[in-house]
């Protein structure tokens, strides 16, 4: 009798954590949620994060706080998320660079596929190559000619070492046969400011963050990464048009949780995010940045990450890129 009672009590004790986890999932979120962004304020991902966080805060009745943790190609933010409890109260929004971090940045200490729980790919957006309005070049051929006349003296910038934009710049250098010096920044905001000021000669950036500078004439777009020419930039050719098709890949950003995040919480966050981006005002604000909303399922996003990982890994190996 005593033994049976002990077994019953032990079974109840073993079941308690599972019951508690279920209770937490049912009431999620019962307090504020951190949304970690691996870039400083001012870039495409940060803008999307703030639009979504504001409406999720209203929907949940709990604050979603955007926390910018820039540096080392997103590694600082990623490690902050991985060191958090997998309870849904720390989630991560980041760019396509997450899928390529492992093999382009030697200091990466995580597996971008295995160590995270994909929630949803929120949006895709074109990339842009642009010059300041003070540049003596006005077209891509003019820029290439000037770069060839001044090997190593022409600078280009990106939002950081090991990002997809850095990779695009390195691919462009090799395919166009030019020697450019890379100037990495801790995010798009600082990179844009220095490009506009003429501190660097060209920038590889996401269209949403660069578009305001293009619209007011401070930046001149000379080529875009997109399937076809964009309605907002009808006179700007795509990389495919100018014979540089491998550089012609769009970027994206999405939400992840740390490894071990329960399916219940993943599904709750996904459902809330999908409902949020479907709201007319949210959809309009995101699309006004030049992004296209996707909001696919966790399984679809996981497949997308693996596909991008394979593509960029092959590009790096084929081109024999060695990134600093």
Does the pLDDT at position 314 exceed 80? Answer: no
pLDDT in tens, 72-82: 767 889 999 99
Which residues partner with 254 through β-bridges? 94, 121
Count other Cβ atoms within 10 Å, centred on residue 264.
15
> What local confidence, expressed as pLDDT, does residue 189 receive?
87
Average pLDDT over the chain, rounded to whole? 86
> What local confidence, expressed as pLDDT, does residue 8 receive?
41
Does the pLDDT at position 223 exceed 60? Answer: yes
User: Edge-to-edge strands of the sheet including 127-132?
Assistant: 180-184, 154-158, 202-206, 127-132, 219-225
Rounded Cα distance, 106 and 323, in Å: 9
Does the pLDDT at position 19 exceed 70? Answer: no
Q: What is 161-223 written as a DSSP string?
A: TTSHHHHHHHHHHHHHT--EEEEE-SSHHHHHHHHHTTSSSEEEEEHHHHHHHHHTTSEEEEE
Of 229, 232, 226, nearest to 249 by C-alpha is 226
> What local confidence, expressed as pLDDT, does residue 12 receive?
41
Q: Where are the domains of the chain?
A: 10-125+250-319, 127-247
- 10-125+250-319: which CATH number, 3.40.30.10, 3.50.30.60, 3.40.50.720, 3.40.190.150? 3.40.190.150
Does the pLDDT at position 4 exceed 50? Answer: no
pLDDT confidence of 24, banded at 50, 70, 90?
Answer: very low
- Domain 127-247's class? alpha beta
The pTM for the full model equals 0.73
pLDDT confidence of 320, banded at 50, 70, 90?
Answer: low
Indicate if 127-247 has the same CATH topology as 10-125+250-319. Answer: yes
CA 176 to chain centre: 26
pLDDT confidence of 166, banded at 50, 70, 90?
Answer: confident
């Amino acid at each position: 009798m005593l033994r049976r009672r002990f077994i019953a009590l032990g079974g109840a004790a073993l079941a308690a954590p599972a019951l508690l986890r279920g209770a937490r999932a049912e009431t999620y979120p019962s307090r504020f949620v951190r949304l970690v962004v691996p870039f400083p304020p001012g870039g495409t991902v940060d803008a999307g994060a703030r639009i979504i966080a504001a409406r999720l805060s209203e929907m949940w009745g709990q604050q979603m706080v955007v926390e910018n943790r820039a540096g080392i190609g997103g590694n600082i933010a990623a490690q902050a998320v991985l060191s958090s409890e997998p309870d849904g109260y720390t989630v991560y929004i980041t760019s396509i660079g997450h899928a390529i971090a492992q093999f382009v940045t030697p200091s990466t200490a995580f597996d971008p596929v295995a160590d995270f729980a994909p929630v949803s790919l929120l949006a895709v957006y074109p990339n842009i190559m642009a010059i300041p309005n003070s540049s003596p070049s006005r077209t891509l051929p003019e820029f290439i000619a000037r770069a060839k006349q001044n090997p190593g003296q022409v600078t280009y910038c990106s939002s950081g070492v090991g990002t997809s934009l850095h990779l695009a710049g390195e691919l462009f250098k090799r395919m166009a046969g030019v020697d450019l010096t890379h100037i990495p920044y801790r995010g798009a905001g600082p990179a844009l400011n220095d490009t506009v000021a003429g501190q660097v000669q060209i920038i590889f950036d996401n269209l949403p963050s660069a578009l305001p500078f293009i619209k007011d004439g401070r930046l001149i777009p000379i080529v875009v990464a997109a399937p076809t020419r964009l309605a907002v930039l009808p006179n700007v050719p795509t990389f495919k048009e100018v014979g540089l098709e491998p550089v012609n890949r769009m970027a994206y950003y999405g939400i992840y949780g740390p490894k071990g995040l329960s399916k219940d919480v993943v599904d709750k966050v996904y459902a809330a995010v999908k409902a949020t981006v479907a709201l007319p005002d949210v959809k309009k604000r995101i699309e006004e940045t030049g992004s296209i909303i996707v909001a696919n399922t966790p399984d679809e996003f996981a497949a997308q990450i693996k596909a991008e990982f394979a593509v960029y890994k092959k590009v790096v190996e084929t081109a024999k890129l060695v990134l600093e």
